[in-house]
Structure 1
Amino acid sequence: MTLFHFVGIKGSGMSSLAQILHDSSYEVQGSDVEKYFFTEEPLRDRKIPIFPFDENNIHHGMTIIAGNAFPDDHPELKRAAELGIEIIRYHDFLGNYMKNFISVGVTGSHGKTSTTGLLSHVLSGFAPTSYLIGDGTGKGVEESDYFVFEACEYKRHFLAYEPDYAIMTNIDFDHPDYFKDLEDVLDAFSDMALRVKKALIACGDDLNLQRIHANVPVVYYGFEESNDFAAKNIIKTEDGSTFDVFVRNEYYHTFTIPLAGDHSILNSLGVIALCHYEGVPVNVIQERLSSFLGVKRRFSITPINGRIIVDDYAHHPNEIRATLQTARQKYPDRELVAIFQPHTFTRTSALLEQFAETLSAADHVYLCDIFSSAREKSGNLTIHELVEKIPGATYLDLENVRLLDNHNDAVYLFMGAGDVQKYLYAFKDKMAKDETA
């Protein structure tokens, strides 16, 4: 049997794919840096071997799956090439793998992971479903009918896929280290839409998505009545949201979700539209929506000493806005403390004014040093340029995390796509020590 060796197995998509292949009875191992990433936990739970990068990991009898972040001259990939071993890039492998199933790709500038998680949970209540979620979660189910996967637009990697269906949540300018402008992003999504084989489910409230053309039916969802699937009569509470769904202006069903924020209603609508198209009974859709517990690092809540600690992946102004809106709905009587670590110098520089405007909606703002991705060497920008643009904002480093102690029963929103969790853990440790002192 083939042994799959993953170069960069701790990557969010790579970890998920390794889990799927392991669950499908393939032999799997991988290599990566020794630094801890939360994506390695499900790998270790499955006892999948993880080695430090070393060209000696590579030998005959393997198939190499290479993470997109690693160049061809990476020592392990060079060694594999020298030995004549098959090397397949992650997105190419995934593109071939999904041909065995009814495939549903979830893509968009924001909301991919949450929507992929929700869709895989709902479909799993209807038929055997394998899935790959961008939070490092993957599951291979025997004799699956469906394969649900997160399709990332970065470097146009999603153009390796030809799914039966695609859900597109929105189109926004992001990844400025690769995309030139919004038109360049729109061009990539337009190309992706042409690769869909059965139907495209798209948020019709997004003006950019209205410009998308496809060779298959396009089903729109959103709050506007003009959408094929429209949410009306919305009731929001601290426990979630209830709304009526109209299908082409005809009442379909009233749904309740245990999730806050407009974006959660929209994500649910996209899932409902896809399930309606596939004939999933409405009672199954509602039951599964009700039992969805969320995905990793998307408004993950920990109550401590009367305070609410939230870990969230938000790293774009529109994602921060959604996180703040969610917190206001769930905790209307509490102060919101935003602790934000920008991700990449290029994104921070390109969206500096939008970051300042969005973060200003929090009651208190703390800003951590910019996280430098492997995609870029460094930047001339510093976090202090953002601090100066937000009235009352405070610079935060690990040495002065005690400053967060000034806000009693507040909601603390730790946001970012880098290692903002180290500030969260430091704050938790401080509170634990204070409690035992």
Structure 2
Amino acid sequence: MTVFHFTGIKGSGMSSLAQILHDSMNEVQGSDVEKYIFTEEPLVERKIKILPFDADNIVPGLTVIAGNAFPDTHPELVRAKELGLEVIRYHDFLGHYMDQFTSIAVTGSHGKTSTTGLLSYVLSGFTPTSYLIGDGTGKGVKDSRFFVLEACEYRRHFLAYKPDYAIMTNIDFDHPDYFKDLDDVMDAFNQMAMQVKKAIVACGDDHHLQQIKANVPVVFYGFDEANDFFAKNVVKTSDGSSFDVYVRNEYFNSFAIPSAGDHAILNALGVIALSHYEGVPVDIIKDRLSTFGGVKRRFTITEYDDKTIVDDYAHHPTEIEATLQSAKQKYPDREIVAIFQPHTFTRTAALLDSFAASLSHADSVYLCDIFGSAREKSGTLTIDDLVKRVPGAKHLKIEQIAELEEHGNAVYLFMGAGDDIQDYMNAFKRLIEQGETA
């Protein structure tokens, strides 16, 4: 039996892959920082051993899977090479692993995680399906027909994959520490498209995706009636959205989803199109769409007596706008308070004005210090550069968290990709809970 060691096992993709290999009857262990990260919860549930980083973790007989965040000079990877062990990067391993299934890669600048989670849930109601979701959730299912995976464009890692299908949600400029400009991003997605074997399901409302080049059919979805699959007669309420779907101008069926926001309808359309293409009965699609509970850190709601806290991974202006739109649909009569921590100095600098524009849609805005990355230099940029651009925004330190209580029965949106925003949210939750028990 192969024993897999994951260097960086708490990474969102790494945690998911470790779960899949464990579920597939492999022996799995891993190492990471000792700080708590939410992605470790399913590892602990499976009793997968998590060790602190240490070269001594590496012993003969292991196959080492290395997280993309860790250089070849990491002590564990150096020791593995000294022992002559196989060291394989996360995305390279995944590229080989997926070949045994009908594989579906979900990619795009935004919406990957939610769409991967939704597609996995729908297909699992039809036939055994294994999946890897970027929220740290993975599952290996015996005799799986499908393998659904989230495919990230960062550093072109998704080019390690040659999937049967791809769902492409959108193309936007992001990861400015790697991509030079939007044309560079487009080039990466075009390279990915050329590697797809059967078909691409792409959002036709995104004009960048309209330009995608591929050797396989491209099926478009969206609100525009020029798309192959389009939504019409949309009804939005605080409980979600309902809509009719037309396939090449012919009525197909009506669907309802519990999620709010246009982006949630678009994600559902992509899943409907792919499922229809693979012969999933419409009654299964309808039932699974209507009962999907969401994925971690994507509009995750905690309700208190008079306050609502939403945890969301939004860390790009487009995602912030989508999250705010969802909040206003779900809570039309409540004040929307945005608490946002920018993720990386390079992204904040490159998109500073766009961040300001998206955040201005909230009723009140609090901004936390920028979450820096180990791979970048901060330069002279600070959170004050963003505070000055958002009318009425305030710089919030964690010791000032009680200031949020002045907004009473508001909806508090905690948004960001770094770990620190979770600390802010948990501090505010503790404050509320103390007040309720006092």
Matched, 1:359 2:359: yes
Distance in 1 between residues matched to 2:171 and 2:74, nearest whole Å: 33
Matched with 2:122 is 122
User: Residue in 2 aligned with 1:200?
Assistant: 200
In the TM superposition, what are the counterparts of 1:150-161 in structure 2 within 5 Å? 150-161=150-161
Q: Could you tell me how far 1:435 is from its partner in structure 2?
A: 2.3
1:247 is the counterpart of 2:247:
yes
Please state if 1:137 is matched with 2:137: yes
Amino acid at match of 1:310: V
One-letter identity of the residue aligned with 1:421 = Q
Instruction: Trace 1:261-272 onto structure 2 (pairs within 5 A).
Output: 261-272=261-272
Q: Which runs of 5+ in 2 are unaligned?
A: none
Map 1:290-309 to 2 at 5 A. Answer: 290-309=290-309
Q: After the TM superposition, which residues 412-427 of structure 1 pair with which residues of structure 2 at under 5 Å, given as runs?
A: 412-419=412-419, 420-427=421-428
Per the normalisation by structure 2, the TM-score is 0.99
Alignment of 1:67-106 (within 5 A): 67-106=67-106
* TM-aligned CA deviation for residue 400 of structure 1: 0.5
Kindly report which structure 2 residues correspond to 1:8-87, keeping only aligned pairs within 5 A, or say none: 8-87=8-87
Q: Distance in 1 between matches of 2:171 and 2:313?
A: 18
Alignment of 1:341-420 (within 5 A): 341-419=341-419, 420=421
Deviation at 1:270, TM superposition (A): 0.2
Once residues 411 and 374 of structure 2 are traced to their aligned partners in structure 1, the CA distance between those partners, rounded to angstroms, is 31
SS in 2 for 1:34: coil
Partner Cα separation in structure 2 for residue 203 and residue 390 of structure 1:
31
Q: Which residue of 2 is the match for residue 329 of structure 1?
A: 329
Q: Give 4+ residue runs of structure 1 displaced > 3 Å after superposition.
A: none
CA distance, structure 1, for counterparts of residue 77 and residue 180 of structure 2? 30
Q: Distance in 1 between matches of 2:375 and 2:114?
A: 24
Amino acid at match of 2:109: S
Please say if residues 164 and 198 of structure 1, whose CA atoms lie closer than 8 Å, have aligned partners that are also in contact.
yes
Match of 2:218 in 1: 218
Q: Which residue of 1 aligns with 2:177?
A: 177
Please give the secondary structure, in 2, of the residue aligned with 1:39.
helix
1:202-236 deviations in whole A, cap 9, x for unaligned?
A: 00000000110100000000000000000011000
2:430 matched to which residue of 1?
Answer: 429
Q: Secondary structure at the match of 2:106?
A: strand
Which residue of structure 2 lines up, in the alignment, with residue 234 of structure 1? 234
* Alpha carbons 1:346, 1:379 under 8 Å: kept: no
Q: Distance in 1 between matches of 2:172 and 2:379?
A: 23
Alignment partners' CA distance in 2, 1:199 and 1:239 = 33
How far apart, in 1, do the equivalents of 2:38 and 2:378 lie? 25
Please state whether the residue corresponding to 1:236 is helix, strand or coil: strand
User: Is the 8 Å Cα contact of residues 241 and 259 (structure 1) preserved in structure 2?
Assistant: yes
> How far is 1:430 from its partner?
1.2
SS in structure 1 at match of 2:51? strand
Separation of aligned partners in 1, 2:159 and 2:175:
16
Query: 2: distance between equivalents of 1:304 and 1:258?
Result: 20
Q: Provide the secondary structure at the position in 2 that maps to 1:346.
A: helix
Structure 1 SS opposite 2:287: helix
Quote the offset at 1:433 in angstroms: 1.8
d(CA) in 2 for partners of 1:115, 1:431: 32
Q: Following the alignment from structure 2 to structure 1, what is the Cα–Cα distance between the partners of residues 379 and 286? A: 47
Question: Structure 2: how far apart are the matches of 1:304 and 1:421?
Answer: 18
Classify the secondary structure of the residue corresponding to 1:391. Answer: coil
% identical aligned pairs: 73
Q: Is the 8 A contact 1:240 1:257 kept in 2?
A: yes
| Whole-angstrom CA distance in 2 between matches of 1:41 and 1:207 | 39
Unaligned runs of 5+ in 1: none
Query: Aligned AA for 1:392?
Result: G
Cα shift at 1:328: 0.4
AA paired with 1:112?
K
Deviation, 1:305, is 2.6
Whole-Å separation in 1 of the counterparts to 2:185 and 2:374: 21
CA distance in 1, matches of 2:405, 2:182: 40
The CA distance in 2 between the partners of 1:230 and 1:436, in whole Å, is 49
What do the CA deviations read for 1:111-137 (whole angstroms, capped 9, x no partner)?
000000000000000000000000000
Q: Is the 8 A contact 1:167 1:200 kept in 2?
A: yes
Supply the RMSD in Å over aligned alpha carbons. Answer: 0.6
Count, aligned residues: 437
Q: How many angstroms does 1:432 deviate by?
A: 1.6
Q: Describe the SS at the equivalent of 2:343.
A: coil
